[in-house]
Amino acid sequence: MEKCIFCEIVAENIPCTKIYESENILAFLDIAPVNPGHTLVIPKQHYPTLLDLPPALGQELLEALQKVAKAIKEGLQADGINLGMNNYRAAGQLVFHAHFHLIPRYEKDGLTLWPQQKYESETKMQEIAQQIINKL
């Protein structure tokens, strides 16, 4: 199996600019930020995507996300923060070690991250909802 770059960072074989660490979570600066301070929050253990993460990690993960988000907002005087996660290649995932992006945002930074569309009808919207609900 190819070496996972984020596992290498956790093992300290590759350096990172560490922001925060707890027992099972590590946060470090993204090497190619959307805005300066863009931080990646990852589980130290290797899980490929959101769907592989153990729910038991939830509390520690949310604590880390909130702590770092608050520190980014206050430390960098950010007006807002995007929390993002790419899962699978079609969604832009390049590193297959699950990770959350915390991106500082500013009123006039000119970024638009979510181009949106409309449902063709209310019926179509209900149909789509049902296709998801059927799999819960």
Chain residues that interact with ligand 5GP, rule: CB under 6 A = 5, 14, 16, 28-32, 40, 86, 92-95
- Cβ atoms within 10 Å of 63's Cβ, excluding its own: 12
CB 28 within 8 A of CB 86: no
- 97 counts as catalytic: no
List residues near Zn ion by CB under 5 A. 4, 6-7, 46, 97
**CB of residue 27 vs Zn ion: minimum separation in angstroms?**
15
Nearer to ligand 5GP, 36 or 127 (CB): 36
Nearer to Zn ion, 75 or 92 (CB): 92
**CB of residue 132 vs ligand 5GP: minimum separation in angstroms?**
23
Nearer to ligand 5GP, 56 or 94 (CB): 94
**CB of residue 30 vs ligand 5GP: minimum separation in angstroms?**
5
- Which partner from the list Zn ion, ligand 5GP, none does 30 bind, CB cut-off 5 to 8 Å by kind? ligand 5GP
- Looking at the annotation, which residues are catalytic? 99
